Amino acid sequence: MSTEPQASEQASLIGAEYEVEVGPVAHGGHCVARTEEGRVLFVRHALPGERIVARVTEGDEDARYLRADAVRILDASKDRVEAPCRFAGPGRCGGCDWQHAKPGAQRRLKGEVITEQLRRLAGLTPEEAGWDGTVMPAPGDKLPQGEVPAWRSRVQYAVDENGRAGLRRHRSHEIEPVDHCMIAAEGVSELGVERREWPQIATVEAIAASGSGDRQVVLTPREGGRLPLVELDKPVSVLRVEEHDGGVHRVHGRAFVRERADGRTYRVGMGGFWQVHPQAPQLLVEAVMQGLMPRKGDTALDLYCGVGLFAGAIAERVGESGAVLGIESGKRAVEDARHNLKDLPRVRVEQGKVDQVLPRTRITETDLIVLDPPRAGAGKQTVKHLTTLGARRIAYVACDPAALARDLGYFREGGYRVRTLRAFDLFPMTHHVECVAILEPVKKDD
Ligand SMILES: C[S@@+](CC[C@H](N)C(=O)[O-])C[C@H]1O[C@@H](n2cnc3c(N)ncnc32)[C@H](O)[C@@H]1O
């Protein structure tokens, strides 16, 4: 069955409906389906094996593929549940992708995406990647059926023309007003951002640091708008982002929040990166340390080091006879990292892009490397450089399995193999997943 789009839309297929059988999951929070005419659809709100009616949301006659939403489920998967969030569904909030899937099924789908990316982009079988296909939930997130983990310790809300806070619809600038985001951490919900009016404000970010209890609200006024009087129920620091240069103006309270991981406190200023799931920093430090096994006296690099999470953990373990160099491009993050690690005299943090700073350091060897790049990955040139430094072990922390797979391919070209690859569901209800790959040089007799 198919419904043709209205003639006035010319070649656009937006609005056309196709009855299809849903195929496998694809990277990005959707599944692949094929129409009778052979058109490829990327369908959201569907699950593999289902028979559905898909309505096209993007694409025209000439497109290589169309984007679509499952608007009617004719034959449901056993993994399907009623979305617990009332703002989820076709055309609604774009924050979550898998509200309609059981938690175990969400993790399975993420595992399938990782396997597929490894195969397609690196030519690696699960065995060659040391990957057993299991995506682990964060401790505390395995909740009874129907309950949703409230994990987002940082939420940036957009504000609509009526002053209501909300979240963007999928691939859209439109805002879905949301009076309670189910995945927002309790500390975020308690700030009351979702329940008040925000005239003249473009975005409001609510931050609830877990270890310290620090709370922060970061306001970006509308162009030409003025900052409204801000009175919140809780003691929070409020920052305002200046329009002209992205600078930060402190309205009241501290200009940073304090986070805790691995027995240390980390100051994180505005714009500085910190993992959003409260369990993530500890979980990732443990996975990285188990993989790297630092020894006293080791030298190590922490690339894309943020405010110094892994540099701090490694420095504690390599002791005073060892040394750690962190590299990070964000100016404020580097200031925070230097502050956070100032009790560790053998740690240095350099500011700049890894591909520019690393060659300038003239480092020719190191025992250990941890790299935790942004979504785009490290890239061929940087990976190639890293494979020349003779590291005994490399830990690659990745928030995008596609970029990870590409970079693992480059590591292989440089003589490194993957020992283990672990994956953690640090973003429940969304399609995102965090991986930690541990690499080591291929031995001559391998
Ligand atoms: C995924 S975060 C990791 C931060 C840190 N490892 C942590 O876990 O808190 C990536 C970091 O890389 C930084 N970054 C992005 N591109 C960079 C580049 N080309 N060179 C250096 N740092 C970069 C970002 O500012 C961000 O702090």
CATH class, range 109-141+276-441: alpha beta
Higher pLDDT, 19 or 235: 19
Q: What is the mean pLDDT of the chain?
A: 92
Residues 379, 303: contact at Cβ < 8 Å?
no
> What's the complex ipTM?
0.99
Nearest in space to 23 (alpha carbons), one of 12, 32, 14, 11 = 32
> Does domain 2-80 match CATH 2.40.50.140?
yes
Distance CA 174, CA 158 (A): 9
Instruction: Say yes or no to pLDDT of 31 above 80.
Output: yes
CA of 371 from ligand 1 middle (Å) equals 9
Residues 34, 23: contact at Cβ < 8 Å?
yes
CA of 184 from ligand 1 middle (Å) equals 23
CB of 330 within 6 A of ligand 1: the answer is: yes
Instruction: Say yes or no to pLDDT of 300 above 60.
Output: yes
Tell me how far CA of residue 256 lies from CA of 84, 264, 271, 413, 433, in angstroms: 34, 16, 10, 42, 27
The 10 Å CB-count burial string (b at 16+, else e) for 125-149 is eeebbbbeeebbbbeebeeeeeebb
Distance CA 56, CA 67 (A): 6
Residues 437, 418: contact at Cβ < 8 Å?
yes
pLDDT of residue 231: 64
CA of 386 from ligand 1 middle (Å) equals 16
Q: Say which range, 13-22, 70-79, 189-198, 366-375, has the weakest mean pLDDT.
A: 189-198
Share of the chain above pLDDT 90, in %: 81
- Domain ranges for the chain: 2-80, 109-141+276-441, 154-208+215-253
Residue type, 256: F
CB of 269 within 6 A of ligand 1: the answer is: no
Among 283, 310, 328, 380, which is best to mutate for testing ligand 1, by the most ligand atoms less than 8 A from CB?
328
Q: Is 117 annotated as a binding residue?
A: no
pLDDT of residue 408: 98
CA of 18 from ligand 1 middle (Å) equals 42
Among 292, 304, 385, 434, which is best to mutate for testing ligand 1, by the most ligand atoms less than 8 A from CB?
304
What pairs with residue 348 in β-bridges?
Answer: 325
Atom of ligand 1 nearest to the CA of 266: 9
pLDDT of residue 2: 55
Q: Which residue has the tokens 């995008």?
A: 400
Strands 393-398 and 40-44: unpaired
The confidence band for 233, taking pLDDT boundaries of 50, 70 and 90, is low
Among 329, 349, 371, 434, which is best to mutate for testing ligand 1, by the most ligand atoms less than 8 A from CB?
329
CA of 171 from ligand 1 middle (Å) equals 25
The angle subtended at Cα 48 by Cα 116 and Cα 88, nearest 5°, is 105
CB of 374 within 6 A of ligand 1: the answer is: yes
pLDDT of residue 343: 97
> What end-to-end distance do the CA atoms of the chain give, in Å?
55
Residues 203, 246: contact at Cβ < 8 Å?
no
The neighbour count for residue 212, using CB atoms within 10 Å, is 14
Distance CA 25, CA 109 (A): 7
Q: Say which range, 28-42, 215-229, 348-362, 395-409, has the weakest mean pLDDT.
A: 215-229
Q: Say which range, 136-145, 162-171, 174-183, 332-341, has the weakest mean pLDDT.
A: 136-145
Strands 165-168 and 175-177: antiparallel
Q: Say which range, 196-210, 238-252, 290-304, 405-419, has the weakest mean pLDDT.
A: 238-252
CB of 354 within 6 A of ligand 1: the answer is: yes
Q: Say which range, 125-139, 192-206, 264-278, has the weakest mean pLDDT.
A: 192-206
Q: Is 157 annotated as a binding residue?
A: no
Q: Kindly report, residue by residue over 54-103, the tens digit of the pLDDT.
A: 999 999 999 999 999 999 999 999 999 999 999 999 999 999 999 999 99
Q: What are phi and psi of 189, to 5 degrees?
A: -60, -40
Nearest in space to 435 (alpha carbons), one of 414, 416, 407 = 407
Instruction: Say yes or no to pLDDT of 202 above 80.
Output: yes
Higher pLDDT, 244 or 255: 255
Tell me how far CA of residue 114 lies from CA of 97, 132, 147, 152, in angstroms: 16, 11, 26, 23
31 tagged catalytic: no
Residue of 181, 305, 399, 435 marked catalytic: 399
Q: Kindly report, residue by residue over 325-359, the tens digit of the pLDDT.
A: 999 999 999 999 999 999 998 999 999 999 999 99
Which residue's alpha carbon is at the smallest distance from atom 8 of ligand 1? 309
CB of 329 within 6 A of ligand 1: the answer is: yes
Distance CA 97, CA 431 (A): 6
Which strands, in side-by-side order, build the sheet including 368-371?
Answer: 131-137, 416-425, 434-441, 393-398, 368-371, 299-303, 323-328, 347-351
Dig out the tokens for 188 from the structure.
């975020």
Dig out the tokens for 6 from the structure.
């209205």
CB of 372 within 6 A of ligand 1: the answer is: yes
The confidence band for 142, taking pLDDT boundaries of 50, 70 and 90, is confident
pLDDT of residue 349: 98
Residues 13, 61: contact at Cβ < 8 Å?
yes
CB of 333 within 6 A of ligand 1: the answer is: yes
Instruction: Say yes or no to pLDDT of 434 above 80.
Output: yes
CB of 349 within 6 A of ligand 1: the answer is: no
Radius of gyration of the chain measured on its C-alpha atoms? 23
Which residue's alpha carbon is at the smallest distance from atom 11 of ligand 1? 304
Q: Kindly report, residue by residue over 259-279, the tens digit of the pLDDT.
A: 999 999 999 998 899 999 999
CA of 177 from ligand 1 middle (Å) equals 31
pLDDT of residue 304: 98
pLDDT of residue 244: 46
Instruction: Say yes or no to pLDDT of 42 above 80.
Output: yes
Share of the chain above pLDDT 70, in %: 91
Q: Say which range, 106-120, 187-201, 297-311, 346-360, has the weakest mean pLDDT.
A: 187-201
Q: Is 304 annotated as a binding residue?
A: yes
Q: Say which range, 122-131, 236-245, 421-430, has the weakest mean pLDDT.
A: 236-245
Q: What is the mean pLDDT of residues 38-51?
A: 98
pLDDT of residue 250: 64
Nearest in space to 277 (alpha carbons), one of 381, 195, 188, 375 = 188
CA of 249 from ligand 1 middle (Å) equals 23
pLDDT of residue 4: 56
